[in-house]
């Protein structure tokens, strides 16, 4: 099964289906560790880019990894060939939300069927679900699709494993290479062993579980983190009314080991491809099981209202918004990525546009993606151009570039009204600004 070995470490041939944020990072990192990787997608443009060493998404350090490991990475549209030539196949396709919030498993089913068909002539293979899927999906959706298409039995003809991914966009490579823990759920010990071997050399706890527990650990992690953000934002909203700086409160509670300082950065709320959709999917799954998950519903409700507090603050300073120009700094849902999925900048821009405002925006990486959502706003080449002539500035992403802004950078504004949705500005450099919860 194992093709090559170096210094006692055995390397595998691995295929990865889905070359998005998770698939490309996983592939690049597994290649960096010495494995041969086939990256499969249905989009030719992505495949061509990867074969040229160009990442299909922006993630720090990814281009370097793809280029350095070019000999070990092949991107292809041919799933059958990739699976045939590999020992393990990871499924990393998207798992978006259906309109009712439940998980859309279309891409998962499709890829499982294609992988199954490719397994017909293979002796031994392990299929690993890395996409985030609600508990029960690997057992009840992926395994049956693989069995039907391959004519083989899971645990005998092929192995089925669930290995959730915890990486954060913007820090994805570091998170993959140095995770807090690795969770591997499996049907049988042999398949679990082969995936554990892939992570040989990682000195972190490796938890071996069954399939549905591995799936639940991912949802529980995201539900906890999302809840922590909504809770600190709720506390922040109260602090704002009381004239208290939430960040001092966060520090005060963050030293408590039971709480911890991480994820206490109050602001315009969470976005991204994971927290909103995963909390929604877990709510839908709970309801399907006859349980009403009240806390998670409120986590989403608080988060939905949070970005709009930015608009409320602007309106307090500029009661008549119509005809005014607003500069939005930061479009990505967080720094370090070009991802705008569920970005808090989206409801903010929609809301001010409704008031008849002219919107100018700037983001170092995410403007291309935001152009697919808003075509009729002004995309600026740099910060200065964005701020020039604006009546108010809203900061929505904590990019490093914004942290260095000083008073003089805002001097081109018509009215110097600056509202922070992320705490980036330095009080010493910028006297006149207001934070969403500070």
Which residue in the set 43, 207, 238, 289 belongs to the binding site for ligand NAD (CB under 6 A)? 43
**Summary count for the chain: helices (H), strands (E):** 18, 16
> From the list 76, 86, 89, 131, which residue makes contact with ligand NAD (rule: CB under 6 A)?
131
Binding of ligand NAD by 59 (CB under 6 A): no
**The one among 59, 87, 139, 165 contacting ligand NAD by CB under 6 A:** 165
Q: Which two tokens stand for residue 281?
A: 């999917």
Burial annotation 84-104 (CB, 10 A radius, 16+ → b, else e): bbbbbbbbbbbbebeeebbbe
Residue nearest to ligand NAD (CB): 20
Residue whose CB is less far from ligand NAD, 228 or 388: 228
434's CB contacts (< 8 A; 6+ apart) are: 313, 418, 419, 420
Of the residues 11, 12, 20, 30, which one makes contact with ligand NAD according to CB under 6 A: 20
Three-state DSSP state, 284: helix
Q: Applying CB under 6 A, does 344 fall inside the site for ligand NAD?
A: no
Query: Binding segment for ligand NAD among 19-27, 182-190, 312-320, 365-373 (CB under 6 A)?
Result: 19-27
Which of 11, 13, 16, 21: binder of ligand NAD (CB under 6 A)? 21
167 makes contact with ligand NAD (CB under 6 A): yes
Residue 139 or 165: the one with the smaller Cβ distance to ligand NAD is: 165
Structure tokens at 373: 């959502």
Q: Where are the beta strands (DSSP E) in 56-210?
A: 73-76, 88-91, 126-129, 159-162, 182-186, 206-209
In the three-class reduction of DSSP (H, G, I as helix; E, B as strand; rest coil), residue 150 is classed as helix
Nearest residue (CB) to ligand NAD, 118 versus 227? 118
Binding window for ligand NAD (CB under 6 A); candidates: 107-115, 239-247, 356-364, 411-419: 107-115
Instruction: Number of residues interacting with ligand NAD: please give it, by CB under 6 A.
Output: 26
Catalytic residues: 274
Q: x/- site string to ligand NAD, residues 257 to 276, per CB under 6 A?
A: ----------------xx--
- How many CA within 13 A on the CB side of residue 226? 28
Find the radius of gyration of the CA atoms of the chain.
Answer: 23
Nearest to 30 by CA among 86, 79, 77, 80: 86
Contact call for residue 135 and ligand NAD (CB under 6 A): no
Q: Does 94 bind ligand NAD (CB under 6 A)?
A: yes
Q: Using CA atoms, how far apart are residues 205 and 421, in angstroms rounded to an integer?
A: 36
- Which residue spans within 213-349 are E strands per DSSP? 325-329
Tell me phi and psi for residue 395, to 5 degrees.
-100, 120
- The minimum distance between CB 406 and ligand NAD, in angstroms, equals 33
Considering the rule CB under 6 A, would residue 150 count as an interface residue with ligand NAD? no
Binding interface with ligand NAD (CB under 6 A):
17-23, 40-43, 46, 92-95, 107, 110-111, 131-132, 165, 167, 169, 273-274
């Amino acid at each position: 099964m194992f093709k090559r070995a170096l210094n006692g470490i055995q390397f595998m041939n691995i295929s990865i289906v889905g070359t998005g944020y998770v698939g490309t990072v996983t592939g690049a990192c597994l290649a960096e560790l010495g494995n041969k990787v086939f990256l499969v997608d249905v989009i030719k443009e992505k495949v061509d880019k990867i074969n040229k060493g160009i990442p299909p998404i922006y993630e720090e350090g990814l281009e370097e990894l793809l280029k350095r490991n070019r000999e070990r990475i092949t991107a292809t549209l041919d799933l059958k060939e990739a699976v045939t030539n590999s020992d393990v196949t990871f499924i990393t396709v998207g798992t978006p939300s259906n309109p009712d919030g439940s998980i859309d498993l279309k891409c998962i089913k499709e890829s499982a069927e294609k992988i199954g068909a490719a397994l017909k002539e293979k002796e031994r293979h392990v299929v690993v679900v890395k996409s985030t899927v609600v508990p029960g999906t690997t057992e009840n959706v992926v395994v049956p699709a693989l069995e039907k298409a391959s004519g083989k039995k899971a645990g005998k003809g092929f192995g089925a494993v669930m290995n959730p991914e915890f990486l954060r966009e913007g820090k994805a490579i570091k998170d993959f290479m140095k995770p807090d823990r690795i969770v591997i759920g499996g049907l049988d010990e042999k398949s679990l062993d082969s995936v554990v071997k892939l992570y040989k050399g990682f000195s972190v706890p490796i938890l071996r579980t069954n399939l549905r527990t591995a799936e639940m650990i991912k949802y529980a992690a995201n539900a906890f983190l999302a809840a922590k953000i909504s809770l600190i934002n709720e506390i922040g909203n109260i602090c704002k009314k009381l004239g208290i700086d939430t960040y001092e409160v966060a520090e005060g509670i963050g030293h408590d080991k039971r709480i911890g300082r991480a994820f206490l950065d109050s602001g315009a709320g969470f976005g991204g491809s994971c927290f909103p959709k995963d909390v929604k999917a877990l709510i839908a799954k709970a309801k399907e099981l006859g349980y009403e998950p009240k806390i998670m519903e409120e986590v989403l409700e608080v988060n939905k209202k949070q970005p709009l507090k930015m608009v409320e603050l602007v309106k307090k300073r500029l009661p008549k918004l119509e005809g005014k120009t607003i500069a939005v700094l930061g479009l990505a849902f967080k720094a370090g990525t070009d991802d705008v999925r569920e970005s808090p900048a989206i409801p903010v821009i929609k809301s001010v546009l409704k008031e008849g405002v002219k919107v100018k925006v700037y983001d170092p990486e995410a403007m291309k993606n935001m152009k697919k959502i808003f075509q009729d706003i002004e995309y600026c080449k740099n910060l200065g151009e964005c701020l020039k002539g604006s009546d108010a500035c809203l900061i929505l992403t904590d990019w490093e570039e914004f942290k260095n802004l000083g008073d003089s950078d805002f001097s081109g504004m018509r009215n110097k009204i600056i509202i922070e949705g992320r705490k980036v500005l330095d009080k010493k450099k910028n006297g006149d600004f207001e934070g969403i919860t500070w």
